[in-house]
A and B are shown apart, each in its own frame.
Chain A
């Protein structure tokens, strides 16, 4: 069973940046989730995080909601941005700073 789209929508809109990951920011349980946490840390972004390992219905629900097969998943301003690769590339080419600015967040970089 998966958590319904309506419930997921509430979660992704609860904060300007929301991530779904394995583990939590203090103790990521997967290298890809860890990479996302480290990138957001470099930009000094505060965000909501949800641990999909604690909740199988959430894990399936978020995949259905974004139509994206893998975890982590990053949302900015309620919009699905992508997973680890996309966030890393946006970090490298400077797009992430612009994307955060659009959401009214000043990156530390």
Chain B
């Protein structure tokens, strides 16, 4: 399939966090890398599993899932927004 890294990140976060909302955006084109690269990503994850977790723990959780999913490799840049469903609702009221 096209975009293997993006798909792997999406699959890992979907399986592990059961998000109510998930966005995985490949931002590599904004950086100085060859066309079609999968190096720079932005993720927005909204999951009830973030309830009661400080930001650093949420980000560690997301990082760990992505790292496992990519078989220990890491993308060059992974920008994370991790919210609870309640925080997500409030942001869009």
A interface residue numbers (CB < 8 A to B): 32, 67-70, 80-86, 89-90
A83 to B79 CA separation, bound complex (whole angstroms): 10
Interface residue from A32, A67, A70, A89 paired with B55 (Cβ < 8 Å): A89
Known: A82-B56, A90-B55. A69 touches B63 (CB 8 A): yes
Among B74, B78, B81, the residue within 8 A (CB) of A89 is B81
- Please indicate which of the listed interface residues B55, B78, B80 has the most CB atoms of chain A within 10 Å of its own CB: B55
Tell yes or no: B8 within 8 A of A by CB.
no
B63–A82 touching, CB < 8 Å: no
Count, chain B residues at interface, CB 8 A? 12
CB distance B79 to A85 under 8 Å? yes
**A83 smallest CB distance to B (angstroms):** 8
- Can you report 8 A-B residue pairs in the complex whose CB atoms are below 8 A from each other? A69-B63, A69-B74, A80-B56, A81-B56, A82-B56, A82-B59, A85-B80, A89-B55
Contacts of A90 in B (CB 8 A): 55
A66 closest partner in B (C-beta): B56
Asked whether any CB of chain A lies closer than 8 Å to the CB of B33, the reply is no
Residues of B within 8 A of A83 (CB): 59
Contact indicator per residue, chain B 64-92, by CB within 8 Å of chain A (1) or not (0)? 00010000001001111100000000000
How far, in whole Å, are A13 and B60 apart by their CA atoms in the complex?
Answer: 23
Please give the distance in Å from A12's CB to the nearest CB on chain B. Answer: 15
Known contacts A80-B56, A82-B59, A86-B59; 18 additional CB pairs below 8 A are A32-B77, A67-B60, A68-B63, A69-B63, A69-B67, A69-B74, A70-B77, A81-B56, A82-B56, A83-B59, A84-B79, A85-B59, A85-B79, A86-B55, A86-B56, A89-B55, A89-B81, A90-B55
